[in-house]
Amino acid sequence: MKLINSDYLVIGSGIAGLTFALKVADYGSVTILTKKTAMESNTQYAQGGIAAVFSDDDHFELHEKDTLIAGADLCHKDSVKILVEEGPERINDLLNWGVNFTRDEAKNLDLVREGGHRVKRILHAADMTGDEIEKTLLKRINENPNIRLLENYTAIDLITEHQVLGNLQYAFNICFGVYALNNTTGDVEAFRAAYTLLAGGGASRVYLHTTNPEISTGDGIAMAYRAGAKISNMEFIQFHPTALYHPDHAPFLISEALRGFGGILRNRDGKRFMEDYDTNLELAPRDIVARAIDNEMKKNGDKCVYLDMTHLSPHDVKKRFPNIFKHCKEFLDIDITKDWIPVVPAAHYICGGIMTNLNGQTSMHRLLASGENAHTGVHGANRLASNSLLEAMVFSHRAAQKAIQNNPMSFDVIIPDWDDSGVDNSEEWGLIRHNRLEIQTIMWDYVGIIRSKNHLQRAIRRIHLLFDEIEDYYKRTHVSKDLLELRNMTTIAYLIARSALSREESRGLHYRTDFPQKVDKFQKDTVI
């Protein structure tokens, strides 16, 4: 078995992983593993932007307050303070690395407003902010001789004292790296490092309708859970209110920024229905808007609602949202300056994840986490729009600084070869692979925007059955990327449903019909 050694190992090639890699590269060798191509990440698909205090009419306290309000009394105030106050420094990192944010005619950064923000504080690169950031960071990564980026590798499991030979007591609860599948050769390889950062992104592919790419199967969270690390707040799944709807077309994110630009949500009769739900109208926090849309659809028996941009300047709309305009026109022949955009909520972002402290340290030694697969406490029960890219940068920077300060001692452990003595069960795989759709359907139907005890218990029973089938098959066959993702999705589905069942209240993104009120005793994190 091939063994690759590095000082720092990074799982994931989004903004969290790439920021960490660039920060530590001057202090040791870095290996980055990514499941597909380096560009394929949730970061790339981020349209709206990145929030930070950059204008004279904004200040730290206001950004903090907006974040805390959106988080429904569950944000960690110390994490939020760090996010907001260190945010501008991290934006300057992006500017120094060469990210080209959109500027106004005076060459100042063009700041816009999104839901939950009371002032304009969103920096953006037209409507392709994530794409611009990802390309710029990858260029820096490729120019750095201390960083090795390996594409088409799927991490399987963390290497801990359970795997290493020697049974050394001083090696207890320590991460030594990961086993990973080379998707091209089919071989399993071991990657050993002094520090391992899990930056594997989100898990929203566990739902039937999502804005996330195919790779978002919660691999980092699932691996950490299997290794015994603490996982927190998995019940808080943010459903983006506006994904492009068409029965024969994959969901496509219609950015929050369209509503910030003046877009109006209407039902099929043309009524501006947000007037009935919140005084902030279309700029209410995402959980409120998503539930409002869900209610309108159920009340009228409709499969979508509509976002109206037709009252705005066609020139300005095309200039501000060129990618969205192009996508709607090319794929669905919808001219967003003339036609209402059919939209529906879709699973978008997970506010929980692997528990970390303020420096990215998990409950396992030498295992760090940042980005969407981490729970830093910033988002609470609902993420404020455009705080996610900022969170990834701020806490990846802090994780890097901590790792640099603590020169790790080497451990004389032996990592055994991967045991792939099982036999392929190609006929069974034809049945097992259909479990992916079943998991997604269960989660959408029973653990979605609206929940109840009966639905959650039903979901957990079905997830247990699927888990047993998949785990049995996993132990009897050679691993594959699809099988590893399916295994992880089942784990994620269980964590979300179990967490949701234990929280007997409604708060932020978690709404239960049998417990519709917020309850003081649940003003705490759910920890598994």
Handedness of CA 346, 447, 213, 392 (dihedral sign): positive
Sign for the CA dihedral angle at 300, 302, 304, 308 comes to: negative
Which class for 452: exposed (0-12), middle (13-18), buried (19 or more C-beta within 10 A)?
Answer: middle
Return the closest-CA partner of residue 147 out of 15, 35, 1, 13.
13
46 in helix, strand or coil?
A: coil
Nearest Cα to Cα of residue 152 among 189, 115, 203: 189
Torsion from C-alpha of 324, 329, 334, 338, nearest 10 degrees: 80
Residue entry with tokens 């609902």: 382
Please list the residues that pair with 43 across neighbouring strands.
Answer: none
Would residue 90 show up in a list of annotated catalytic residues for this protein?
Answer: no
In our burial notation (b when 16+ CB lie closer than 10 A, e otherwise), range 403-437 reads: beeeeeeebebebeebeeeeeeeeeebeebeebbe
CA dist., res. 455 & res. 374, Å (int): 27
Query: From the candidates 286, 383, 436, 507, which is the catalytic residue?
Result: 286
DSSP string of 198-237? E-----GGGSSSBSS-TT-S-HHHHHHHHHT--EE-TT-E
Longest dimension (CA), the chain: 70
- Closest to 1 measured CA to CA, from 418, 413, 479: 418
Q: Are 78 and 358 in contact (CB under 8 A)?
A: yes
Cβ burial 152-164 (10 Å sphere, 16+ → b, else e): ebbbbbbbbbebb
Q: How many CB atoms lie within 10 A of CB 191?
A: 24
> What distance in Å separates the CA atoms of residue 293 and residue 28, rounded to the nearest whole number?
50
User: Could you give the 3-state DSSP secondary structure of residue 194?
Assistant: strand
Token pair for 369: 């986490």
Beta bridge mates, 512:
451, 515
Q: Which residues are catalytic?
A: 286
